[in-house]
Amino acid sequence: MKKAILGILLGATVLCHPILSEAHERQCPRPIEVTQQEAQELMNIAFCEAGNQGSSGQLLVMSVIINRVKSPDWPDNIHDVIYEPYQFATNGMATAEPTPETHYALAMLEMGNLIPDIIAFEKVNNNALDRYFTEAFEYQEHQFYTVKQK
């Protein structure tokens, strides 16, 4: 999994074509559709949480949110996931001004470059989430987690 994540973070893109084999098609990212309001909220929270970590760090934050939306354990829409109490740094979102890197992260997400399975993150060496989730990888200032297997 770490190798695949690094490929996406380094800008690797899987080219897909409808004529290619079924096995290759399963590897192709599926576009993610978001409304204009959801796109703005994703960019604002990604900027607030990881604005100093480039487009890759911001894509990781957006991926956590989308993975939560897809999970039965969290709300089923972007707005409610972002504004769930004590989950994200939402103060400052109203005045956030996403950068070109933030827009690029959103474009990558919409093209289907979702980092799979990551469901939470915190500052490196905080370790508060270790009891709830399984550590997946570290990227710059954040430690990312997956669901803890039972």
pLDDT the model gives residue 28: 61
User: What domains lie within the chain, and their CATH numbers?
Assistant: 2-147 (1.10.10.2520)
Name the strand (E) or helix (H) holding 135.
Answer: strand 133-139
Buried b (16+ CB within 10 A) or exposed e, 3-14: eebeebbeeeee
The pLDDT tens digits of the residues spanning 75-91 come to: 999 999 999 998 988 87
Asked whether the beta carbons of 65 and 45 are under 8 A apart, the reply is yes
Question: 123 or 14: whose pLDDT is higher?
Answer: 123
Asked whether the beta carbons of 49 and 61 are under 8 A apart, the reply is yes
The pLDDT tens digits of the residues spanning 11-31 come to: 444 444 444 444 444 556 678
CA dist 35 and 55 (Å) reads 20
Helices (H), 32-123: 36-50, 54-70, 78-82, 100-110
Buried b (16+ CB within 10 A) or exposed e, 34-47: beeebbebbbbbbb
pLDDT the model gives residue 11: 46
Distances (CA, A) of 6 to 44, 68, 70, 96, 135: 24, 21, 22, 28, 16
Tokens 């508060």 belong to 128
Q: Tell me the pTM.
A: 0.81
Name the strand (E) or helix (H) holding 137.
Answer: strand 133-139
